[in-house]
Structure 1
Amino acid sequence: MIEKLRKIILGKPLKTSDLHGEKLGILWGLPILSSDAISSVAYAGQEMLLVLIPMIGVAAYGKMSLLSGCIIGLLLVLMLSYRQTIDSYPNGGGAFMVSKENLGNTAGMVAGAALAADYILTVAVSVSSGVEQITSAFGGLQPYRVMIASALVILLMIGNLRGIRESSKVFGVPAYAFILGILILIIGGAIKLQNGYIPKEPNFEKPLGAISLLIMLKAFASGCTALTGVEAVSNAVPNFKDPSTKYAKTVLLILSMIILLLFGGTSVIANYYHVIPSEEGAMLILIAEEIFGHNFFFYYITTTTFVILILAANTAYTGFPMLIAVMAKEKYAPQQLSMRGDKLSYDNGILLLSAVSALLIIGFQANVTSLIGLYAVGVFISFTLSQSGMFIKWRRERSKNWHFKAAINGFGALLTATVVVIISIAKFEEGSWIILILIPILVFLQMKVYVHYVAVKEQLKIKGSEYETADLSKLEYHNKIIVPIESVNVASVRALRYAKTICEEVTAFTVVMSEEEGKIILEKYNKLNTDIPLVIKLSPYRKVVEPLIRFIESAEYDHTPGDMITVLLSSFVVRKWWHALLHGNTRKYIEKKLLKHKHIVVSNMPLQLKDDHYFQKHLASKR
């Protein structure tokens, strides 16, 4: 029943070979990876006004335009910097891989933690902001905003679980519709002013005092949320068709031009239409109401703004799973996060992102102003580490035009480091301190995960001399048994040796997701010098149990009715409870499936691992 419901919601599974067809071009890659940055047009200017208006009244609009110009200049520097990152790191991972390879493992973990936190906040802020926009137009929905926001996160999760290409078409059209809507707003507002319209001046409360540097920096920090999402393109380069780097750089360039036009244009329009944003009315909606009244264009802009803010979270749904998968492959996150699901998406990363974002929305009651204090700190930390790493890379390699490249990244690192300090100080009381504490905690957890995986690998690895002592042909065998192996390691060899003591006929069996993986396993297996045959089955749908069942019941295995088949599963036992969370539950899944067949006996051959502390000392001695 659950499997049928899953297929109805997510659709038919895809083969591993279908991955190439799931990759993105410019047309659909642009809206999917730029929705976050484009959507910030809807709230970045508003957040600056919310800081400035209480202090200086009508003068806030001019200051907002000035700060917007600074932010756009910073955007252009980041665009040039990240184009170089895309060229140098086409396999994705962005700031995490740049920092890890050029600044060291600790810097890589800090960049990874900062980016992961930013992606989670992107979902929470974007969805909450979208709900705020729609409740501005329809006040009766205000009491239900947390419920609406949580439901929207679930819908985004389902949409992304359906696969990269399918979700890009579903979520891509609204992004283009929003861009068109904001262009209509800017042009419509300019035409109305040109025709002699004089906007009404609102009744400002008496300003609290003169503008100070701290207030300007605080407003600038709020406006810098317009730059979140710029890094997403470099994180997701593998999601593009070949040549992936060319497509990614083109998307990044177009994205920068769109933000320049939309963010700059709305800042100029806001300088003439002096609306006062509040919880009851968002800036863009109030401007649209003054320009168009309550006609079609007003509702079009309201609707597309709401939708793009919700779908801005989709940038995080593209970037976060890819980032966390790269981190998992480097052993800094649970390995389950690097596995693709039925639709070739990183399902576990999508589920993790949705769960944590929903908790934030509920905890902060979908309040954008409360969440925005936590926002942007993480992404600017990753900006700084990424640009610093690239600067070190150019100085070390000294390749062609390295002086020019180093100058771009060095200048970018200096600017973004300054912004980190500004945001941290200006937004400290609003919650930026939470991120500054959270990142070291996440780095500590990454280190614990890394040490555990290294400890497991060291204990399972067969060293050169041990291949000779693992000669399985010297042992007699008496019974019939199948030993499924995931790889050639200490645990699987131990299971094969044991199988030969209790069986007359032993067969090793493995399932691979690609032919290359099969060749690697076969090459290692041949070193064992054993007469136990190894059967390799390709599983394009990434299934494990089904190929094993088909093999047992096929003529290839020479199985006859009445035969009892023993399936001996190799496994290892970890020392601590949380270690178990870092490893897949494949053994229990296989056991549960196989025990449904009367002629199959399932047995387990466990290997008890040592504690991680021994290998932590071993790692320290290597350094």
Structure 2
Amino acid sequence: MNKGLKRLLIGRPLKNEEIQGEKFGVLWGLPILSSDAISSVAYAGQEILLVLLPIAGFLAFKYMAYISLAIIVLLGILTLSYRQTIDCYPNGGGAYVVAKENIGLIAGVTAGSSLCISYILTVAVSIASGVQQIVSAFPVLKPYTSYLCVLVIILMTLGNLRGIKESAKLFSLPTYFFIFSILLMLVVGVIKIFAGYKPEPLVLDESSFQPVTLFLILSAFTNGCAALTGVEAVSNSVPNFKAPSTKNAKAVLALLSTLVLIVFGGTSIIVNYYPINPEKGAMLVQIAQMIFGRNIFFYTITVLSFAILVLAANTAYFGFPNLISVMAREGYVPRQLSMRGDRLSFSNGIISLSAIAALLILIFNANVTRLIGLYAIGVFISFTLSQAGMFFRWIKNKGDNWVVKAAINGFGAFVTFVIVIVIAITKFTMGAWIVVIVIPVMIFLMLKVKTHYMALHKQLKISPEELKDVSIPRDVYTNRVIVPIASINRASIRALRYARTISDNVVAFNVSIDEEQGKKVREKYNMLDTDIPLIVKYSPFRRVVEPLLMFIESAEYDYQKGDIITVILPQFVVKRWWNNALHNHTRAIIERQLIRHKHIVICTMPLQMKDDDRVLKSHKYK
């Protein structure tokens, strides 16, 4: 990316010492880390009704209230559990660290894989649902839903690459406005009910009504469990809080749960008095229209519903990079994901999250219902392993009130495990099978990455005792230099001059695709005032590296075991980035193949080119 454009979009680089200024307190932490759970009211209730309404009719609204109550009870259990996780693991990592330390490596990697999937799907589901709110109010935009989602992901990526402090400023206020607007809607809705207001009756096709089965209730329940996503994000992000970090994190977790109780519970009850048809658009938008009519409050809630759902993805933009950085430091994912970018955010993790989420949205055509089928199972696997890990921790280490704490975590693990089974059964044909396959694949890949890093460390490590016996004499290697040249030009001549400074044994090497070309190169080379020999090889199959390696191993070159061959590759560096697409990059191909040979050292000799327009202005062409 152009440096000036990068500074404009992302901002100036921050020093390592400025990391403390990038941490947040309760005021900014609440909207950032609670937006996922709070936003669930915009689609969790709607997804419950999508399952129940066609079968149960108006009874669906009554069942929805009971299902929402069960979800809120489960939220309370998870809140108590994650408060204990925050106290015991203040360095972040959440379910991954808890499961790995208390159950075992496979359990930890499984929890990490599940959390990664849930964060990716948080972005996909939240943004797809957010765009759905806008499309519900402005149907003309429906054909462009997927493209609008990708555009929002790009904007979210840029916002988060600007760093924690900047993204908090950008994304926090809409969350507070959304909470206030929903509370206002609930209050006005209740006032209108007591005033005797009766909305327009909902017309349903009674011919499709059937007896409500346990399977149907469980299926609706699993859809509504999307409301619990985001609870674990606080425990993953404890290091991002200002000191005292654990106290601030627990305060945010408590406020988050309280808001979900009020907002999710309130909308689940009020929808009984303002019945909606989820197939005709977003639930909140329909309720707002019945309560306010199509006035400024209706459009405000529509816009804020879109905003909060988009910002729900921001929870994942904090949770995923922090989690993946912990896993990267321990060697289970590429180490690049543990590196902070210019603005002290884990930029590689942010970009990876955005790319995968955008791909999912395009594959599933931004369909929220299909994406949720993938969504909940990963979340609840991590819930189960986290609480099981905490249960085993209390059993092993005990401590103050350990029996009560173990009982909370044990019961929570049992309940969430049952929900995992239910989700796997009820959502299997809706996409849960994909996650069931993907998680084992991710575990296998993570273990392979760990194996690679361990093997690499073992091969590179040298003990203090071995260091004492190591000497680096000046004549340990004989350095022989080869300079591959395609033609005689300023870049190749510069490389030959440099070769002379590091060795007396230098050879220029040319590969020609026909004998006529080789003859021309030799004739021009003979004009140089040099005693460096030129070797020209004919390559009828247009290969470059094979003739070079054959020459090194031939009797003609007289290579001796123990000699080091330095291959100096001339390279011209163009001024404009797009100029690179106009050149064949033979140097990179040669380097990629030669680097496999341990007795060959590769050296690049750059020659910087001037700007095209500047060069042409200094020369007169007829």
Correspondence for 1:419: 419
Describe the superposition over 1:260-319 as per-residue Cα deviations: whole angstroms up to 9, x where unpaired.
0000000111011111111x4111111100110011111111110011111110000000
Correspondence for 1:221: 222
Deviates more, 1:460-469 or 1:188-197: 460-469
Kindly indicate whether residue 257 of structure 2 is the aligned counterpart of residue 256 of structure 1: yes
User: What is the deviation of 1:200?
Assistant: 2.4
Write out aligned runs for 1:522-537 (5 A).
none
Correspondence for 1:178: 178
Describe the superposition over 1:322-364 as per-residue Cα deviations: whole angstroms up to 9, x where unpaired.
1111000010000000000000010110110010000000011
Correspondence for 2:387: 387
Give the match's secondary structure for 1:147: helix
RMSD across aligned positions (CA): 2.2
Correspondence for 2:516: none
Q: Distance in 2 between matches of 1:82 and 1:595?
A: 55
Structure exhibiting the larger radius of gyration computed from Cα positions: 2
User: What is the deviation of 1:411?
Assistant: 1.0
Correspondence for 1:295: 295
User: What is the deviation of 1:471?
Assistant: 3.8
User: What is the deviation of 1:370?
Assistant: 1.3
User: What is the deviation of 1:408?
Assistant: 1.1
Q: Distance in 2 between matches of 1:25 and 1:178?
A: 20
Describe the superposition over 1:220-269 as per-residue Cα deviations: whole angstroms up to 9, x where unpaired.
00000000000000011111111111110100000000000000000111
The amino acid across from 2:423 in the alignment is I
The amino acid across from 1:397 in the alignment is N
Correspondence for 2:514: none
Kindly indicate whether residue 277 of structure 2 is the aligned counterpart of residue 276 of structure 1: yes
Quickly say closer, same or farther: Cα 1:324–1:62, change in 2 above 3 A: same
Correspondence for 2:238: 237
The amino acid across from 1:2 in the alignment is N
Q: Distance in 2 between matches of 1:398 and 1:475?
A: 61
User: What is the deviation of 1:595?
Assistant: 4.4
Describe the superposition over 1:507-548 as per-residue Cα deviations: whole angstroms up to 9, x where unpaired.
xxxxxxxxxxxxxxxxxxxxxxxxxxxxxxxxxxxxxxxxxx
The amino acid across from 1:56 in the alignment is A
The amino acid across from 2:253 in the alignment is L
Write out aligned runs for 1:83-98 (5 A).
83-98=83-98
The amino acid across from 2:242 in the alignment is K
Write out aligned runs for 1:76-475 (5 A).
76-206=76-206, 207-278=208-279, 280-472=280-472
Give the match's secondary structure for 2:345: coil
Describe the superposition over 1:398-443 as per-residue Cα deviations: whole angstroms up to 9, x where unpaired.
1122111111111111111111111111111111111111100000
The amino acid across from 1:341 in the alignment is G
Moved over 3 A (4+): 474-478, 594-598
User: What is the deviation of 1:597?
Assistant: 8.6
Write out aligned runs for 1:564-603 (5 A).
595=606
| Contiguous gaps of at least 5 residues in structure 2 | 478-501, 504-565, 569-591, 593-601, 610-622
| Contiguous gaps of at least 5 residues in structure 1 | 479-501, 504-565, 569-579, 581-589, 599-623
Give the match's secondary structure for 2:24: coil
Identity fraction in percent: 56
Give the match's secondary structure for 1:465: helix
Correspondence for 2:528: none
Q: Distance in 2 between matches of 1:76 and 1:264?
A: 13
Give the match's secondary structure for 1:425: helix
User: What is the deviation of 1:208?
Assistant: 2.9
Q: Distance in 1 between matches of 2:468 and 2:119?
A: 49
User: What is the deviation of 1:146?
Assistant: 0.8
Describe the superposition over 1:65-88 as per-residue Cα deviations: whole angstroms up to 9, x where unpaired.
000000000000000000000011
Give the match's secondary structure for 1:374: helix
User: What is the deviation of 1:591?
Assistant: 8.1
Q: Distance in 2 between matches of 1:110 and 1:102?
A: 13
The amino acid across from 1:428 in the alignment is F
Q: Distance in 2 between matches of 1:266 and 1:308?
A: 16
User: What is the deviation of 1:477?
Assistant: 10
Give the match's secondary structure for 2:400: coil
Q: Distance in 1 between matches of 2:297 and 2:381?
A: 39
The amino acid across from 1:252 in the alignment is L
Q: Distance in 1 between matches of 2:458 and 2:90?
A: 30
User: What is the deviation of 1:464?
Assistant: 3.3
The amino acid across from 2:321 in the alignment is P
Describe the superposition over 1:82-109 as per-residue Cα deviations: whole angstroms up to 9, x where unpaired.
0000011111110000011111111111
Q: Distance in 1 between matches of 2:358 and 2:231?
A: 23
Taking structure 1 as the reference length, the TM-score comes to 0.76
